[in-house]
Structure 1
Amino acid sequence: MNAKNVRLRPLRAAAYALLAVAVIGGGWVLWRSVPFDLPSYATWAGLVVALVAIVSLLKPQRWLGIATRGRAAILLLVGVALTTTAALWPSSLHRSAREKHRIDDFLPEYNFAEYHEARTRAPIDRVIEATRNVSVADMPTARLLMTIRRMAGGHLSVPPADSKPWINDVRDQKTGFMVLEESERDSVFALPLGTKASGLPHPVRCSPAEFAGFTGPGKVRVVFDVRVAQEDDGLVRVTTETRILADDPETRRAFACYWRFIYPGSAIIRRVWLDAMIARAERATPSET
């Protein structure tokens, strides 16, 4: 073994260790926060493969088994093909198989959806208070991801870390969201979207009364809820479900591509949001409620 290989051995060991940490850490985040969605996972898997291939084109990464630029070029084609196929994979129409909730009255059928839940032993009145008073300032990770998503949509301004309850902005429609129905334990919110020539969605102003009729080419309806339920074992369950419906095939294809890319970030935002609610409920004192 020559001196060069001896010198490189610690660097390779460190690289393998960093890769293992990244894989384990990323896997834990995905397992906890991002429910499995095959087209989205495949889209991002293809991106990772393509990125590794690009690095290997510049310098073959033998420690990854990519010893030549020819192999890297083949890997790049595989990554691009996987991402393109997954991002453009056709979406279908779904209907919830769970028990009926208020969200079903506003969007019973949908093309895309995500569901998240969390549990706590905090009293239900504190949990309800927390769902209403949690703010963006309580969720720095979510704020970072929302900023990245805004920038991807062409909005370069960074939203402030507002400490006011998030629901205030929804009631005032400052962010494009609106309240469709609000109660202590089951509230439903909406976001009407239009699509630009590029296919990227953007909020569209409309009233809650007009939302049901917000249909047609280029229009997308987004509905999400927040539900609080007392369970038999003393736990309180908080859930949020998001549903999205695009009416015409062209808009559906464009939004599908957009959704496959943003889905992991969207899921993490909702996971962080639920965690912030639970944390607020568990640290609350009777004087705060």
Structure 2
Amino acid sequence: MLDDYLPDYDFSERHCRNVAARPDTIIEAASAYRAESDPFFRAMIGVREIPMRLAGWLGGRRAGLPPTFSLDNFTLLDRRDGSELVYGLVGQFWRSDFGLVSIADGTAFRAFDRPGIAKLVLGFSTEPGAGGLTKLTTETRIFCPDPVSRRKFAPYWYLIRPVSGLIRGRVLTSIRRASEKREAARR
């Protein structure tokens, strides 16, 4: 489904885990997952948001600052039970406040086309794996619509990518644990 929403992209990252659970159980666990429950994620987002929060505090705008970034900022674009889940995000992610643009749904995400503003998809997918396991994959793709946004996003991407990889590994591990726990409870 990622190709349905963002077939062309400039940056991407993919991570996989084998899970001893059925695909529908895994996708359900992925949709229920909340990264903000992970202390490492909260700490890294806290570090990422220091410039925005400090500027707000120094500028007397503390009350007008957005809530801490989380998966709630993403829009569910599509879901195929038992196989895929796709979220979208639109913004200027390199800005201290993320420069987020609200989108209503998958149709609005596809139609969005504004210079200087990037589009991101975050997907979870399942497929049969070795030894009766299910392979869970998460992939992120980012499209920058013009050279200026690519130049602004690239340094940000290369700075956050190592931490992003660690977070994604933790996300997959958490989803694997939740999925396997649900499977064990069904037996």
Q: What TM-score do the two structures reach when normalised by structure 1?
A: 0.53
1:107 aligns with 2:2: no
Considering only aligned residues, what root-mean-square deviation do their CA atoms show, in Å? 2.8
**1:140 paired residue number:** 39
Check conservation: 1:200, 1:254, Cα contact below 8 A.
no
Q: Taking structure 1 as reference, are residues 201 and 253 closer, same or farther at Cα in structure 2, changes over 3 Å only?
A: farther
Query: Could you list the per-position Cα deviations for residues 94-123 of structure 1 after superposition, in whole angstroms to 9, with x for gaps in the alignment?
Result: xxxxxxxx1111111111110000012234
Task: From the CA coordinates, give the structure whose radius of gyration is larger.
Answer: 1
1:203 aligned counterpart, secondary structure: coil
Q: How far apart, in 2, do the equivalents of 1:124 and 1:234 lie?
A: 11
Q: Does 1:127 align with 2:53?
A: no
Q: What does residue 239 of structure 1 align with?
A: 137
Deviation at 1:148, TM superposition (A): 1.8
Q: 1:129-167 CA deviation, whole Å, 9 max, x = no partner?
A: 322222335422222222222335x1468849xxxxxxx
More helix by share: 1
Q: How is 1:240-279 mapped onto 2 (pairs within 5 angstroms)? A: 240-279=138-177
Which letter maps to 2:171? Answer: W
The equivalent of 1:217 in structure 2 is 115
215-224 or 136-145, which deviates more: 136-145
Hey, what does 2:16 align to over in structure 1? 117
Distance 1:155 1:229 in 2: 41
Q: Provide the C-alpha distance between the structure 2 equivalents of 1:220 and 1:232, rounded to a whole number of angstroms.
A: 36
- Note if contact 1:195-1:251 (Cα within 8 Å) is conserved in structure 2: no
Q: Secondary structure at the match of 2:80?
A: coil
1:194 corresponding residue in structure 2: 92
Matched with 1:179 is 76
Instruction: Say if 1:127 and 1:195 are closer, same or farther in 2 by CA, change over 3 A.
Output: closer
Q: Equivalent residue for 1:226? A: 124
Task: Pick 1 or 2: higher relative contact order, CA cutoff 8 A, min separation 6.
Answer: 2
Q: Deviations over 1:158-188 (max 9, x none)?
A: 849xxxxxxxx86xxx42x111111221111
Asked whether the 8 Å contact 1:107–1:243 carries over to 2, the reply is yes
For the residue of structure 2 that corresponds to 1:284, the secondary structure is helix
Instruction: After TM superposition, give the deviation of residue 239 of structure 1 in Å.
Output: 0.5
2:57 corresponding residue in structure 1: none
Unaligned runs of 5+ in 1: 1-101, 161-168
| In 2: Cα distance, 1:245 partner to 1:251 partner | 9
Instruction: After TM superposition, give the deviation of residue 285 of structure 1 in Å.
Output: 5.5
Identity of matched residues, %: 29
SS at match of 1:218: coil
Residues 229-251 of structure 1: per-residue CA shift (max 9 Å, x gap): 22252011110110001111111
